[in-house]
A and B are shown apart, each in its own frame.
Chain A
Amino acid sequence: MEISKMKIKDDFIQGNDRIKILSNRGKPTAIPPEWQPVLDSCSILIVIPDMHMYIHGENLDNFSYGADAMLHFLSHCGKLKKKLARNGKTLRLYQTGDIYELRFPSKSPTGSNVGPGEITLSDSSYGKIVNTLDSLRTHYIYGNHDFELRHYLGYKFFANEGKVHLEHGFAADKWSDFSNPKAPLWEPGQFLFKTAREIEMILSKLLVATSIIQPDEHFAIGVKSGKTERGNYPSPSTYATKHPNQSKYYEKRLKTNKDGAKTKICIIAHTHQPYLNANVDGGKYILADAGAWTEGRSDFAVVTNEEIAVCRYKRK
């Protein structure tokens, strides 16, 4: 069987100077020849991480700062997808969870949490982004912030693309993190969390009324504002200390073949820290974190049969 050979710079980036490789000092990481092919039904795999879209214009919304970059990125992927399709090749997109911030309150008087429709209709760019993702036949994995989507067609807990395992990453968290829907006390934790955000919404209205913050300025305690673009690649050595749950849990899963004997690469998100470790268990596996497309970041991961990289799409 002929293996589809693709290079990230030549075949994906194709001179788009808004795409920068973050991992491996700006160079794609080679996939060992003995692993290839790692993809069995597509030629290029793109992984879009956490977006946390909320109602546009609300102080709790942090995605709006990166929305324009997302539209441009999807346009790049769309053109490439069509070009590859003419040659019988497939570019496949995954959005690996937390596309929406459903843990925040709805603006309707139901007292409940917000829904996807309320978010996508809040601004034409948000609707356009979601409709573009759909038109590109994006596969969706649900996260802890959009856990309710698990009921619906097209949303999965995990996916295996050949030898690549994709998951959001919340499964590693303990009950005390209050970010694992499958751990105890998640329900009461989310109820309190939403209540806290409701109080925050009232507080933000006061801050806007007194001109301390702008009407559409991000304000959410404990969340970095996306107003400042963040394109740094934190040192990989910090990942294990900052996110020990994910580091230990997913490395262990790779080593014990929990996701199938052929799995060689695991890509998660959830932590909002881009990361790539090609040296798991002495180089037998690769663990990557696609980062985030919120809090000022605009990261994503790209995999071909020959290479893998965590990248960012620069804002204009």
Chain B
Amino acid sequence: MKNLEKFRAIAGMFLLFIVIAVMMQACIGGCASKCAIHEPDAENFRSKVPSSTLQASFSEGKLVPGMPYFVVQEMFQECGNRRGIPVASVGSRQELKEVEGWNRQSYDPNIKVYMDKYKTEFGELAVWYRFQDFYRMEVKAGDSFYAYWQDSIKSSLIDYLTDRDNVMVQSSLTGIPDDAACFGEIRHLDNPKYNTTYYYELTKVDSITLYLEPADPDYYPIQKIEVNGEPEEFFQWRSAK
């Protein structure tokens, strides 16, 4: 009888330990502190992102693909989450990592697609952003091109690429001086992956040539958004103003 009681006591303690361990795991997964969302700087956004579509989304409190990564940085500025997880492609959640030797890891620097994940009050937000150039974004002859400079928008059609960061348009972009820094929007004619892509640091070289400056990662455009593991067209961080 004594042995049976001892066994019951040990089994009971073991069971209690398992229950506590499981609850702790669940808590770590679900009770981890949520990231506070800060309101991004509207004036900064308006000055750097002239696209009316993106500005409209911003005023509605929506984070959408095409917005620059600095918006995410401002929103989650106090969140200590790991950022910039390198992944193989937009939408992939698997960290791209090779391990060799004694726990030495490496990542291919040629692949510049990154993911951030944040626990928010609205659910888990996953954001993908990447380095862009005309080749990677499959820009093609016939795509519509819009160059924003100061308060003017000039349009043309893409003619051809001379390099991954150099594009020629079909008609002259008169009114924009040479060497001017512009913002570019391309509406793709026949692209299964992207309807519209945005280019933050373009330089107008001459009347028909535009050059994409080497990117500042703060301006890597957001490619995709998922909330609670499901693709979404936007992430609503506040109600529309």
Return the contact of B214 from the options A106, A110, A111, A132 (Cβ within 8 A): A132
- Least CB separation from A114: chain B residue: B105
B-side contacts of A148, CB under 8 Å: 98, 100, 104-106
A129-154 Cβ-contact flags toward B at 8 Å (1 or 0) = 01110110000000000001101111
Q: How many chain B residues touch the partner (CB < 8 A)?
A: 28
CA distance A109 to B98 in the complex (A): 16
A-side contacts of B160, CB under 8 Å: none
A117-130 Cβ-contact flags toward B at 8 Å (1 or 0) = 11011001001101
Return the contact of A128 from the options B98, B101, B165, B214 (Cβ within 8 A): B214
B-side contacts of A109, CB under 8 Å: 82
Q: How many chain A residues touch the partner (CB < 8 A)?
A: 33
A-side contacts of B131, CB under 8 Å: 131
B-side contacts of A121, CB under 8 Å: 83-84, 114, 217
Q: Is the CB of B216 within 8 A of A152?
A: no
Separation in Å of the B176 CB from the closest CB of chain A? 20
CA distance A311 to B211 in the complex (A): 30
**Which A residues from 190 to 225 make CB contacts under 8 A with B?**
190-191
CA distance A120 to B109 in the complex (A): 9
Separation in Å of the B117 CB from the closest CB of chain A? 12
- Whether a CB of chain B sits under 8 angstroms from the CB of A188 is yes
**Which B residues from 131 to 175 make CB contacts under 8 A with A?**
131, 165
Q: Is the CB of A191 within 8 A of B105?
A: no
CA distance A107 to B216 in the complex (A): 22
- Whether a CB of chain B sits under 8 angstroms from the CB of A102 is yes
Q: Is the CB of B217 within 8 A of A153?
A: no
Return the contact of B107 from the options A111, A117, A127, A154 (Cβ within 8 A): A117
Q: Is the CB of B217 within 8 A of A120?
A: yes
B-side contacts of A107, CB under 8 Å: 82
Q: Is the CB of A115 within 8 A of B104?
A: no
Return the contact of A117 from the options B86, B99, B104, B216 (Cβ within 8 A): B86
CA distance A151 to B97 in the complex (A): 12
A-side contacts of B98, CB under 8 Å: 148, 151
B-side contacts of A134, CB under 8 Å: 214
Return the contact of A152 from the options B104, B109, B214, B217 (Cβ within 8 A): B109
Q: Is the CB of B110 within 8 A of A153?
A: yes
Known: A116-B109, A117-B114, A121-B84. A190 touches B104 (CB 8 A): yes
- Whether a CB of chain A sits under 8 angstroms from the CB of B39 is no
B214-241 Cβ-contact flags toward A at 8 Å (1 or 0) = 1111100000000000000000000000
Return the contact of B104 from the options A112, A118, A124 (Cβ within 8 A): A112
CA distance A70 to B201 in the complex (A): 20
B-side contacts of A102, CB under 8 Å: 104, 106
Known: A121-B84, A148-B100, A153-B110. A115 touches B105 (CB 8 A): yes
- Whether a CB of chain B sits under 8 angstroms from the CB of A177 is no
- Whether a CB of chain B sits under 8 angstroms from the CB of A113 is yes
Known: A121-B83, A151-B98. A113 touches B214 (CB 8 A): no
- Whether a CB of chain A sits under 8 angstroms from the CB of B60 is no
A-side contacts of B97, CB under 8 Å: 115
Known: A121-B83, A124-B216. A116 touches B102 (CB 8 A): no
**Which A residues from 153 to 208 make CB contacts under 8 A with B?**
153-154, 187-188, 190-191
**Which A residues from 247 to 301 make CB contacts under 8 A with B?**
none
- Whether a CB of chain A sits under 8 angstroms from the CB of B74 is no
Separation in Å of the A299 CB from the closest CB of chain B? 22
- Whether a CB of chain B sits under 8 angstroms from the CB of A237 is no
Return the contact of A149 from the options B82, B85, B106 (Cβ within 8 A): B106
A and B contact pairs by CB, cutoff 8 A, 12 listed? A112-B105, A117-B112, A121-B114, A124-B216, A127-B218, A128-B215, A131-B131, A131-B217, A149-B106, A187-B101, A188-B102, A190-B104
